[in-house]
Amino acid sequence: MSKRALLLAALLCQASNSAAFQQPKVKQADAYPLRHNGQVIYLHGDPTATITCAPLDLCLIALQPGELIQRDGMHISDAIRWQVKPTVGANDTTHVVLKPLASGLETSLALVTDRRSYHLNLVSRETGSMPLITFRYPDEISAAWSAYYRDRAEAEAQRRLPETEEDISTLDFDYTITGCSGCAWRPLRVYNNGKRTILHLGPGIHQGETPALLVHSSQGEVLVNYRIQADRYIVDRVFDRAVLVLGVGRKQERVTIARKSRTSPEGFSWLD
């Protein structure tokens, strides 16, 4: 697994933990049904969900827009004294129309759709009829929060260098790298964090001798102290100009690094 994948996995794990402890909770089932603008709202999956309908009244069960009842997906225990018909309204919303033929009836209704199943209790009474029944879906609410934390984790991963987890927005990438274009160790990028300069060298750094780093000063090119970590040179200062040198004489290889004005790091290939 790449370092970038490990970073993203760690952030996703952290996001999942945050979701578990910080995610707003759906109202408990005992808080339902809710009543709003003439609708009776049940929590989907509540086994006590009961629809009351007066004799010869029409009571509508509204599914989600685009949700379809499967063929042979409607089952009612008392199909003689309860009329059940489907209709499609605005926004491609399927409504199940209920009409009891007498008072004092009790039965159960099951609906199987292309998304989920519904199990409802039906009762008929002279009063308390519910003209429109809708649902809240806790699984979709939880999924929306999980997606939110996942997207935030992915956005955070995009803001960081995959190898070091450094925040890109705090780094200065505005350097030119010239010379020795065929050198396998030629830096892929150079940046500083305001205190240190990091040279990310090419894969050839592991294949032979390592170049020396000389920084330009008023005394000319001078050696500086730096640490080597994997394929990186870490210099405990910010310099304006330096050169990497390997070999001597006519076979010497040189790469010049020059700092320019600060610019945005967007568009670098390691974010792809």
- CA angle 168/169/173 to nearest 5° reads 65
Q: What is the mean pLDDT of each run of 10 residues along the chain (272 residues)?
A: 53 51 50 88 94 95 97 96 95 96 96 97 95 94 90 85 79 93 92 92 85 90 89 92 91 92 44 38
Q: CB count, 10 Å around CB of 42?
A: 22
Spatial distance between the Cα atoms of 27 and 25, rounded to a whole number of angstroms: 6
Amino acid letter at 142? S
Edge-first strand order for the sheet with 189-192 is 189-192, 197-200, 232-235, 226-229
pLDDT of residue 156: 82
Q: Which pair of structure tokens corresponds to residue 42?
A: 């049940």
pTM recorded for the entire structure: 0.53
Edge-first strand order for the sheet with 253-259 is 175-178, 253-259, 241-246, 212-217, 220-223
pLDDT of residue 91: 92
